[in-house]
Amino acid sequence: MTAQPTPDGRRPANRGPRAAAGNREALVAAAREIFAAHGLDAPLSAIARRAGVGQGVLYRHFPDRDAVAAAVLEENVREVEQAAAARGATPDGVLGVLTWHLAQSAAFIGLLHADGASGRFAAHAYARELSERVERALRGCLPDGHRLADPDDLMLAVAMVSGAVTGPTREGREHRALAAWRLIGVTVGPVRPFGG
Amino acid sequence: MTAQPTPDGRRPANRGPRAAAGNREALVAAAREIFAAHGLDAPLSAIARRAGVGQGVLYRHFPDRDAVAAAVLEENVREVEQAAAARGATPDGVLGVLTWHLAQSAAFIGLLHADGASGRFAAHAYARELSERVERALRGCLPDGHRLADPDDLMLAVAMVSGAVTGPTREGREHRALAAWRLIGVTVGPVRPFGG
Amino acid sequence: MTAQPTPDGRRPANRGPRAAAGNREALVAAAREIFAAHGLDAPLSAIARRAGVGQGVLYRHFPDRDAVAAAVLEENVREVEQAAAARGATPDGVLGVLTWHLAQSAAFIGLLHADGASGRFAAHAYARELSERVERALRGCLPDGHRLADPDDLMLAVAMVSGAVTGPTREGREHRALAAWRLIGVTVGPVRPFGG
Amino acid sequence: MTAQPTPDGRRPANRGPRAAAGNREALVAAAREIFAAHGLDAPLSAIARRAGVGQGVLYRHFPDRDAVAAAVLEENVREVEQAAAARGATPDGVLGVLTWHLAQSAAFIGLLHADGASGRFAAHAYARELSERVERALRGCLPDGHRLADPDDLMLAVAMVSGAVTGPTREGREHRALAAWRLIGVTVGPVRPFGG
DNA sequence: TATGAATGAGAGTTCATTCAT
DNA sequence: CATGAATGAACTCTCATTCAT
């Protein structure tokens, strides 16, 4: 409780404040992988370990699990927005980017589904905000009279496609995502990350 | 819920082998409620407590968490099958029963989504089998040429509707489920349990 | 998060429910020693270890640190009450028993001092109740016109003597306690546990 | 409290060696407040933050928690000494200053109680020295034949009054302190800081 | 057979301390 | 000389699982 003498006298290098930015990025990347692989309940310690940092660093950057998840989601959403804002953006193309992210990670799916029912996510409000950003990004691209012109329908469609995205392999998830869009009657462009 | 409440401070009488079946039912019912309320990660001890039995009884009936979850799912699926097998079953009606279960519990949704990626369910094979039973039950009811005549499309549609079902309230989930079916172009009958 | 397979296949004997009562006693005794030696902030894990039980057992018997401390205090207070209720109890004798407990353990002192200022003890109300029990026990013994006939003065005196009781050795603490009573002008009988 | 608030997002200018003394003062003042508010176990980081300096500065000035606490205590003792050394000092007046400090902060009380038994303070020797300084300061003021003429009795009395000082409010603590002095038969002057 | 206490691994979280900048 | 991020040990608490009764 009181003193914490250095265990054996050795202490792994303190890489200094310079490492902060890099650490944050590494944590988000690690979180994306760990969440994708083991679900949103994966131990935070696993994320810290994968990122190659101490647990304290994770807690310095993110106060809780929600914040970690939100950071991952934020990145995904930002890519969709960028795809939508890019010159020459087409509905098909943006949906392709979105679909790539949907197929990419379980975390993305789980967070869009975050419904508070599990009592786990207080980040509900944030998830909603992100949903709206996705919706806005897409809306700007859709031609008038598009099947999903109604914003509610658009987000519902995204949720539905998310629901369809299951299975252990990337390819399988991608295939199911495309089949889902087809069932809704929506055409999707090439499935790939923005700039990928 | 079924079993004996602890009388006062005395150990409740061992009711002998006759109670086994009742205990199992009580456990499944308790699991359904607990899973719905607290998610699939709820403590098993909570289920046993709610069922009014000791933890040992839970382990006697189910080797692990997956088995408990599977038993809950099994009941849901059986109801859908019964609805489909009933005289005068219509596609609309069966879909209504299915939709009722989808909207009913987060657990059902989570289980249909069980994809093994989350590392949580070894019961993947069993979940697949159940999916197929749902599909078969529905298939038998659909008229030729129905939009979802393709079995794959049918199951995909179920998954998609599951994905749409989020939110804390029963009413909201039901509403979203119906909107999802509509987006796929499928008509659904009254949303209610079989025999309800 | 999910499964906790037995580490190596071996598991120390589960001594069964019979051990419950003994465990509780062992925990209280261990807590008394640990608290006395390391203060009220000592790790609960140390108490469990000293009692020879797993951490879970400690939490089964006591929901939190306060409950452990309260159990220790309860025992002390009970002894004082017994001393006061015994046939032929004299003020001097009861004060001797009380003094013995004061000199005995840092925990007793700390708990009587519990003032909530440290934010650590929600058990404030319980501590107050115990204080009153001590006061009642003593009051019953004091002859009319005794210097401490006023209940407030009585408890104040106890607090003051507690404050005087410092130092690493039992003997030193006892000596200081007696000096403190003397300074207040109170005569104390032999310092020993009730029945000791 | 003294040092610079971080301007906006920029690292505050290194104010050079001149700031050292000011920082020390700020740290002691911050420690007094934090200890009083959250007890002697408050995080050191909180003290540094309250002082408006980095954690490194705290470690530059104080090797460990004990040193910080000792510095706070030192200030208190110095004030008592000053009060005793002032022209026209009376026993009553000095005791009033002492009592003010006792009622002022939980930290002061805790430190006077520091008995090493809690394992928290290696600063035992230093605390003893401070005790003696308080005793010397008071002794010089007491008229011959005073009830507390014996140095041991004097320090015992201080400890006893400290023990009586509990409760969440300043007023309550002050009231109890005065009652305690009264019980010992000592008259105390106005309770206030030296020069206050 | 049912009960529920015991067990301990490990997850989450906090903080003392170091040290690159 | 000051900053504050990094580090990881230690602590609290939970819960899956076993097993004496």
Model confidence pLDDT, tens digit, residues C47-106: 999 999 999 999 999 999 989 988 988 888 899 999 999 988 898 999 999 999 888 765
pLDDT at A125: 66
D47 has a pLDDT exceeding 70: yes
Provide the 10 A C-beta neighbour count for residue D132. Answer: 14
**Nearest by Cα to C106 from A3, D158, D115, D106:** D115
Contact D103, D171 (CB under 8 A): no
pLDDT at A102: 86
- Token pair 């030696």 is found at C37
D:147-176 Cβ neighbours of strand F under 7 Å: none
**Nearest by Cα to C37 from A90, D47, D117:** D117
C167 has a pLDDT exceeding 50: yes
Contact D137, D84 (CB under 8 A): yes
Length B52 CA → E21 C1' (Å): 62
Of B117, B120, B156, the CB nearest to A168: B117
D160, D162, D171: best to mutate for the C interface, most C CBs within 10 A: D160
D71 has a pLDDT exceeding 70: yes
F14 C1': nearest CA residue:
C56
Of A37, A153, A183, the CB nearest to B153: A183
Within chain B, what is the greatest distance between any pair of CA atoms? Answer: 64
CATH dotted code for D15-62: 1.10.10
Contact C30, C50 (CB under 8 A): yes
- Token pair 């252990």 is found at A168
H helix runs in D140-169, sequence order? 151-164
pLDDT at B125: 67
Q: Which bases of chain E are contacted by protein, using any atom under 7 A from a CB?
A: 1-21
Q: Which residues of A touch D120 (CB under 8 A)?
A: 2
Q: What is the mean pLDDT of residues C177-184?
A: 95
Search chain A and give the residue with CA nearest B173. Answer: A115
* Strand F reaches within 7 A of the A11 CB: yes
C1' nearest to CA of A11: which nucleotide? F7
* Strand F reaches within 7 A of the C39 CB: no
D110 has a pLDDT exceeding 80: no
| Six token digits for residue B4 | 């004996």
Q: Taking CB atoms and an 8 Å limit, are B41 and C1 in contact across chains?
A: yes
Q: What is the pTM of this model?
A: 0.84
Length of chain A, in residues: 196
Give CA–CA dist C46/B154, Å, rounded: 59
Q: What is the mean pLDDT of residues A118-126?
A: 54
Task: Spell out the residues 6+ positions from residue C32 whose beta carbon is closer than 8 angstroms to its own.
Answer: C72, C75, C105, C107
Q: Which residues of B touch C3 (CB under 8 A)?
A: 64
pLDDT at D14: 57
A133 has a pLDDT exceeding 70: yes
Q: Cα A74 to the chain's mean position, in Å?
A: 6
B160, B166, B169: best to mutate for the A interface, most A CBs within 10 A: B160
Asked if A touches C (at least 3 Cβ pairs < 8 angstroms), the answer reads: yes
D36 has a pLDDT exceeding 70: yes
Q: C-side interface with B, Cβ within 8 Å?
A: 1-3
D9 has a pLDDT exceeding 80: no
Q: D-side interface with A, Cβ within 8 Å?
A: 41, 64-65, 119-120
C:105-124 Cβ neighbours of strand E under 7 Å: none
- The three state secondary structure string of chain B is CCCCCCCCCCCCCCCCCCHHHHHHHHHHHHHHHHHHHHCCCCCHHHHHHHHCCCHHHHHHHCCCHHHHHHHHHHHHHHHHHHHHHCCCCCHHHHHHHHHHHHHHCHHHHHHHHCCCCCCCCCCHHHHHHHHHHHHHHHHCCCCCCCCCCCHHHHHHHHHHHHHHCCCCCHHHHHHHHHHHHHHHCCCCCCCCCCCC
Give CA–CA dist C55/D104, Å, rounded: 39
B10 has a pLDDT exceeding 50: no
Contact B162, A163 (CB under 8 A): yes
Give CA–CA dist C99/C79, Å, rounded: 12
- Half-sphere CA count of B79, side-chain side, radius 13 A: 21
DSSP state of C148: T
Q: What is the mean pLDDT of residues D68-95?
A: 90
In this prediction, what percent of chain D has a pLDDT beyond 70? 79
Span B108-145, pLDDT tens digits: 666 655 554 444 445 566 767 777 888 888 888 888 77
C177 has a pLDDT exceeding 90: yes
Give CA–CA dist D138/D153, Å, rounded: 12
Q: Taking CB atoms and an 8 Å limit, are B153 and A184 in contact across chains?
A: no
Contact B21, B15 (CB under 8 A): no
Span A137-186, pLDDT tens digits: 888 887 777 888 888 888 889 889 988 887 778 888 899 999 999 999 99
In this prediction, what percent of chain A has a pLDDT beyond 90? 37
Give CA–CA dist C162/C99, Å, rounded: 9
Q: Which bases of chain F are contacted by protein, using any atom under 7 A from a CB?
A: 1-21
Span A56-69, pLDDT tens digits: 999 999 999 989 98
Q: Which residues of C touch B65 (CB under 8 A)?
A: 2
- Half-sphere CA count of A99, side-chain side, radius 13 A: 28
D118 has a pLDDT exceeding 50: no
C114 has a pLDDT exceeding 60: no
| Six token digits for residue B159 | 């998954």
Length B119 CA → F20 C1' (Å): 34
A9 has a pLDDT exceeding 70: no
* Strand F reaches within 7 A of the D118 CB: no
Query: If DSSP codes are grouped into helix, strand and coil, which group holds residue C146?
Result: coil
* Strand E reaches within 7 A of the C1 CB: yes
Give CA–CA dist A188/A185, Å, rounded: 10
**Nearest by Cα to D121 from D72, D192, D193:** D72
**Nearest by Cα to C154 from D113, D180, D110, D102:** D180
Average pLDDT value over all residues in chain A: 82
Span B141-196, pLDDT tens digits: 888 778 888 888 988 998 899 888 877 778 888 999 999 999 999 999 999 998 76
Span B71-111, pLDDT tens digits: 998 898 899 999 999 988 998 999 999 999 888 766 566 66
A156-160, B2-6, C49-53, D98-102: which has the highest mean pLDDT?
C49-53
* Strand F reaches within 7 A of the C169 CB: no
Q: Which residues of A touch B127 (CB under 8 A)?
A: none
Chains with ≥3 Cβ pairs under 8 A against A? B, C, D
* Strand F reaches within 7 A of the B14 CB: no
Length of chain D, in residues: 196
Positive/negative CA dihedral, D117, D120, D126, D127: negative
Q: Which residues of B touch A162 (CB under 8 A)?
A: 163
C1' nearest to CA of A51: which nucleotide? F6
pLDDT at B15: 59
Give CA–CA dist D20/D4, Å, rounded: 13
